[in-house]
Amino acid sequence: MLNMDMNITESANKFLGNKREKYNLKNIYANYGIIIVFALLCLILSFASPYFLKEKNIVNVLRQTSINGLLSIGMTFVILTGGIDLSVGSILAFAGVVGASFSSSAFAALGGIVHPAILSFSISLLVGMVLGLINGSLVAKWRIAPFVVTLGMLSMARGLTFIYTDGMPIPNLDKSFLVIGQGEFFSIPVPVIIFALVFLMAWIVLYKTRFGRYVYAVGGNEKSAKISGISTRLIFLAVYGISGLLSALGGLILTARTTAGLPQAGVSYELDAIAAVVIGGTSLNGGQGTLVGTFFGALIMGVINNGLDLLGVSSYFQQLIKGAIIVIAVLLDTLQKGNKD
C-alpha cells in the first residue's frame, strides 16, 4: 500500500513538473514570443498614432507586407540551408522592369508592343528564377560562399536593370498588368491573396514533403545529409531558385503598384527580408526556424515601417532602427543557443 502511494505521488509530481515546465515563461516566450511581440507592437502604435488602426491603414500595411513577405519566404528556404541571399532586391528590380517592358507601350526596345499580361508575368518569373539558379549553382557546384555569390549578383542584377532601361522608368503599363498590384478580390488586395497562397504552398512544401525535410537536414549538418544520400547540390540549387522566383513575383507586384518599372526599385529590400526571417526565429546557422515565425516577422517589419512613417520618423533613422533590430535578433539567437549548450 505504501509503495502504491509513493508511486502515485511520484507520478503526480512528474505530471505537475511537466506541466510547470510546459507553461513556464521561458517556454511561453520560445513558443509564442513572436506573436506576443507583434501584439504588443500593435498595441503601442495604436496609442502612439490615431491612424494606425484605421481600416485603410491596416489594408495598406498588409499590402506593403506582402512584397517583403514573399522575399522573406524565399529567404527562409535559403537561410535554413545555412546560406544567405543578398541579391533579392536587385533581382526584384530587374525582373520587375523586364515584366514591365513587355506590357508597356512606351518601351522602345520592344517597339512599344503591349503583350498579354500572362506573358509578361511568365518572362519576369523565369528571369528571376534563372538568376536565383545561377546563385545556387555557384554555391552548390563551385562552393563559393553564399555571401560572396549573392553580393556579386546584387551588383550584377542592378547593373543589368540600368542597362536594360537605360536608367529610365518604364511607364504606360497595360491595365491587365496593374491588377497584380492594385486589384482586389472581395475587397481583399490581390497582393495579400498572392502572399497568403504562396505562404500556404511554401508551408506544405517545407513541412509535408521530403524536399522540406532535406532542406532542414542540409542546414543542420551538410556532411551528415550527404552521407544519408541527400543531393545537397540540388537542395542548394532549388532554394536559391525559389528565392529568385519569389523575388521576381515581388517585383511584379511592386511594379504594378507603382505603375512603372523603376530601375531603382528594391534598394535595401534584402535587409527587411533578412530582418523578418531572423526576427521570426530562423537561425542564420541553418537547420532551425519556421515559416510561421517568418510570417509574423514580416508583419512586424511591416508594422514597424508603417508606424515609423505615421510618427514622422526620418528615413535615415528608420535604416538605423532596422539595422539595430537585425543585430539584436541575431544576438538573442546566439544567447539562446549558448544557453542550450
* Mean pLDDT across 282-294: 94
Per-residue confidence band for 12, with pLDDT thresholds at 50, 70 and 90: very low
Query: Greater confidence, 97 or 335?
Result: 97
- Which fold does the domain 54-340 belong to in CATH? ABC transporter involved in vitamin B12 uptake, BtuC (1.10.3470)
Q: What is the pLDDT of residue 55?
A: 93
Q: What is the pLDDT of residue 171?
A: 97
Distance from C-alpha of 205 to C-alpha of 26, rounded to nearest angstrom: 30
pLDDT of residue 340 exceeding 90, the answer is no
Q: What is the pLDDT of residue 174?
A: 96
Of 60-74, 143-157, 207-221, 301-315, least confident by mean pLDDT is: 301-315
Q: Kindly list the domain boundaries of the chain, sorted by start residue.
A: 54-340
- Tell me, rounded to whole angstroms, the distance of Cα 104 from its chain centroid: 29
Of 15-19, 107-111, 208-212, least confident by mean pLDDT is: 15-19
Mean pLDDT of the chain: 91
pLDDT of residue 17 exceeding 60, the answer is no
* Mean pLDDT across 56-71: 96
Distance from C-alpha of 62 to C-alpha of 193, rounded to nearest angstrom: 10
Q: Which three cell numbers stand for residue 71?
A: 522575399
Of 127-131, 145-149, 270-274, least confident by mean pLDDT is: 270-274
Contact (Cβ atoms closer than 8 angstroms) between residue 101 and residue 107? yes
